[in-house]
Amino acid sequence: MADDKSHQLKDKRNITKFYMTNLLVGCNLWDVADFMGGFGEIAGCYIARKKDKEGNRFGFISFIY
């Protein structure tokens, strides 16, 4: 039972998500992760297929803190 609780505590992480816009056409998840990795540990990255209202590519990146 103690193992279950310690496993649950490890899964509870504080995550901060940032919105990115105006991404270049050829930019992919790995490019964003390489660039933003210097700011902290990355939990996830998403680039939308759609464009925002101004016609720019956008996405989100999540950091663990």
Q: Show the domains of the chain with their CATH numbers.
A: 13-64 (3.30.70.330)
Which residue has 């933003």 as its token pair? 36
What is the model's pLDDT at position 35?
94
Collapsing DSSP to helix, strand or coil, 61 comes out as strand
Q: Which two tokens stand for residue 48?
A: 């939308």
pTM of the model: 0.74
Q: What is the mean pLDDT of each run of 10 residues along the chain (65 residues)?
A: 47 86 94 94 95 96 94
